[in-house]
C-alpha cells in the first residue's frame, strides 16, 4: 500500500487507547510501525461490526502483534484508532444468564406425591 499520513487525532487516540504510557512522539513512531507492518482490510473484525459503519473509502489496519487494536484509514489518512475494549459496552447483556437454583427434586414415588393416606377409614354406604 502507498504511504499513509498519520493524523494528529489518530496519534492522540493511539496514545490514549493503545499505549497510554508513551509520549506523543513515541506514539507517532509506534503508530507508524503499526500501520506499516499491519494488514489492510476492507472489512472490520467481528468485535467492531456493531460499532463501525462501513463507508466507501474506509479501510482497517490490523497488526498481529496488537490484535485488539485497529487503525481506521480513509483516503490515505489514518483518521483514528479504536480498541476492542472500546467497542465492548460495559453492560452488554449476555445470552447466557444465571438462573435461580431449582428446588430439589421430589424423590418420593409419583403415587405418593399425588395421594397421601391420612389414616382414617371411611365406611362404604
Contacts of 1 (CB under 8 A, 6+ apart): 40
* Domain-located, residue 106: no
Model confidence pLDDT, tens digit, residues 1-50 = 468 899 999 999 999 999 999 999 999 999 999 999 999 999 888 888 77
* Residue at grid coordinates 427434586: 105
* Domain-located, residue 92: no
* Domain-located, residue 98: no
pTM comes to: 0.66
* Domain-located, residue 100: no
Name the residue range of residue 32's domain: 5-86
Amino acid at each position: 500500500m502507498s504511504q499513509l499520513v498519520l493524523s494528529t487525532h489518530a496519534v492522540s487516540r493511539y496514545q490514549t487507547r493503545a499505549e497510554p504510557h508513551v509520549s506523543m512522539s513515541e506514539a507517532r513512531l509506534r503508530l507508524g510501525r503499526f500501520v506499516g507492518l499491519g494488514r489492510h482490510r476492507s472489512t472490520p473484525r467481528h468485535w467492531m461490526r456493531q460499532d463501525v459503519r462501513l463507508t466507501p473509502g474506509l479501510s482497517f489496519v490490523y497488526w498481529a502483534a496488537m490484535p485488539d487494536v485497529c487503525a481506521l484509514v480513509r483516503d490515505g489518512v489514518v483518521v483514528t484508532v479504536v480498541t476492542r475494549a472500546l467497542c465492548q459496552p460495559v453492560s452488554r447483556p449476555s445470552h447466557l444468564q444465571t438462573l435461580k437454583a431449582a428446588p430439589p427434586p421430589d424423590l418420593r414415588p409419583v403415587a405418593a406425591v399425588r395421594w397421601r393416606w391420612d389414616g382414617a377409614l371411611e365406611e362404604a354406604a
